[in-house]
Structures are given as structure tokens and as C-alpha cells.
Amino acid sequence: LQETAKNEIAAANSMEALEKARVKYLGKKGELTEVLRGMGSLSPEERPKIGKVANEVRETIEALLEEAKSLLKTKDLERQLAAEAIDITMPGKEIKLGKKHPLTQGLDELKNIFIGMGFKIAEGPEVETVYYNFDALNAPANHPSRDMTDTFYINEDVILRTQTSPVQVRVMEKIKPPIRIISPGRCFRNDTPDATHSPMFHQLEGLVIDKGITLGDLKGTLEVFAKAFLGSHTEIKFRPHYFPFTEPSAEVDASCFKCGGDGCGFCKGSGWIELLGAGMVHPNVLRNCGIDPEIYSGFAFGMGIDRLTMLKYGIDDIRLFFENDMRFLNQF
């Protein structure tokens, strides 16, 4: 019995085969168990002798099983290690590093300039109400920008904001002057895409409210900004303009940083490039926000981040920002 068990165990090449062998010899109905069960019919002299032999055989088979088991385990482990081995002679894969999108780089630069002048950053929702985007900003009920052809309406009262100016109102409602914030973010207009227009674009709003703020403060702030952003020789000029929420209002131009103001192809010979819109906050807007225009005054400005980044990096089509072409993005 011991010999056949030994051969069978040695031949077992899986855990299942081993278990089968164990059951065959040591199981409840196993061959050795049968022998032990038959002990009762033996004579008292034979019993201890046969018992001793049967126990020795059981111990031997158990030991053989244990040994075979651990051998199988080692073989399994070796097989697994061989299968998972890493071939360190294989050539490596190139790891591609990401970088900041040019618009993010442009925005970072704008933010740094204004943070350096003591501005804090404020945020507002991109899905905005007609009240904050138009009404509170003193826009007349028949203002053309309210039209469906200019503004994306979600419903009668809710739109995608067309400008970052509604953040002015949200800030003034919450914080008492002095206020000095910038607010960058996405804006949406139902404009047909071309080289300088995108239905989704970015603006950066500025707002300063305190006692005794004048147009001189606005000019000084924007001059510091223009010199920091475009170069220390940059001059700015104000052109009268109209915005419902500022009075007086202006569009601000900077002297062309390519020709220094002499006129070149870049500025179409004029010597100036358009920078942003600005003005003194309209008394009606202050009143709408619970700020007394007899005590406080302030200025606001709004600039297109995409257009300014295009200017700075010499990009001639706004759509390049949103096409995710790596050949374009890798240049920055």
C-alpha cells in the first residue's frame, strides 16, 4: 500500500491530483482507513502490531503528501515569476510632458500683474441671470446685446454670461468698499467664428471702488498694466465710447509694441492697438448694489484674454486656441 501510494503521489503534477491521492488512501473511505477499521476483527496479539504498522504507513503517506505539496507550490511560484519577468533590455517608452495652454500662460501673466497691484481674484457663474448680466448693469431694455442673435438664452431669465461684468454686481452686493478685484472667466456670445471671434472666449474684469476714486486712478492703473504687459515704452490713450454701466466710458488703446507707435503692418499703420473697454462705474449700478454714489466712486475695465494673448504671442487666429493641435500648442 505504502509503495503504490508513494508512486501515485510522486506522479501527481497538480494540487487536484494530490488531493485525489489523499482521499484515496487517507479519506473516510480510503484504503488505509479501511485497514484501520478492520482492526476490530483481529486477535488481541495481532492488533498492536498491525496498528503500529498502519500508523507508520499513515505518517509516511502524510509526510509524502506534505512534501509533494510544498514542491508543487514552489514550482507554481517559479512559473509565475518567469511569466512576470521584466525584460530590462527592452528599449524604454518616451514620456510626454504636458505644459500650460497658451491661454493659461496669458492669463497667469495678467493675473500676476494685477495681484502685484493689490487686486484680489473674484469669481462668478458662467450660467448667469438676465438681471446680473444686463438689468443690474444699467443696460436699457432694448439694448441690442440682449437680442437672441447676440446672447445664448437658457430660458427667459437665464443666459450664458456675455461678459464678466456681472461679477462686479455680485461682488458689490457682498463686500463693502474699499473693493479692488479682478475676475477672469469664460464668456459666451452668439458670434460667428472667425479669426478674432469665438462663441466662447475669455474676459478679465477689473473693479475698484472707494472714496475719492477718479478717472486719474483708472488711467494710472491701466498705464502700469500696459507697460508691464507690453513693454516699458508702451503709451496708452483713451477713446470715448459707450457702455451702459460706466460713465464716462472709453476704449483704451496701447501704442503698438512692434513699431513703437510709428505705424506698421501689425497695427495697420495706425501706431495703436485696441486693448480693452473701461470707465467710471455708473451711479445707477452703484445704487443697484446698495452703494451710495454720493460717498463712493470707482472704475471698471474689461479685456479679452484671448485677444491679448494673441497680441502678445503673435497668434493670428483665435480658433487655434481651441483646436488642440499639438503642433500649435507645443510652440508655447
Cβ proximity to ligand FA5, 79 vs 319, nearer residue? 319
CB of 219 to ligand FA5, least distance (A): 14
Q: How far is the CB of 277 from ligand FA5 (least distance, A)?
A: 3
Distance separating alpha carbons of residues 267 and 270, to the nearest angstrom: 6
- Smallest gap from Cβ 99 to ligand FA5, in A, equals 23
CA–CA distance, 115 with 180 (Å, rounded to integer) = 10
Nearer to ligand FA5, 151 or 163 (CB): 163
Sign of CA dihedral 218, 223, 225, 230: positive
- Contact residues: ligand FA5, CB under 6 A: 163, 165, 189, 191, 197-198, 201, 203, 205, 243, 246, 277-279, 300-302, 304, 306-307, 318
Give the DSSP per-residue string, 207-234.
EEEETT--HHHHHHHHHHHHHHHH-TT-
Name the minimum Å distance from CB 308 to ligand FA5.
Answer: 7
Phi–psi pair at 55, nearest 5 degrees: -65, -40
What residues does 13 pair with on adjacent strands?
Answer: none
* Beta bridge pairs of residue 236: 254
Compute the least distance from the CB of residue 235 to ligand FA5, in Å: 19
Residue 76 vs 173, nearer CB to ligand FA5: 173
Instruction: Consult the annotation and say whether 247 binds a ligand.
Output: yes
Q: How far is CA 299 from CA 123, 162, 181, 230, 287, in A?
A: 18, 20, 11, 22, 15
Q: Which is nearer to ligand FA5, 61 or 286 (CB)?
A: 286
CA–CA separation, 158 and 89 (whole Å) = 61
Residue nearest to ligand FA5 (CB): 304
CB-wise, 65 or 280, nearer to ligand FA5?
280
Q: Which residues define the annotated binding site? A: 247
Residues that constitute the known binding site for Mg(2+): 247
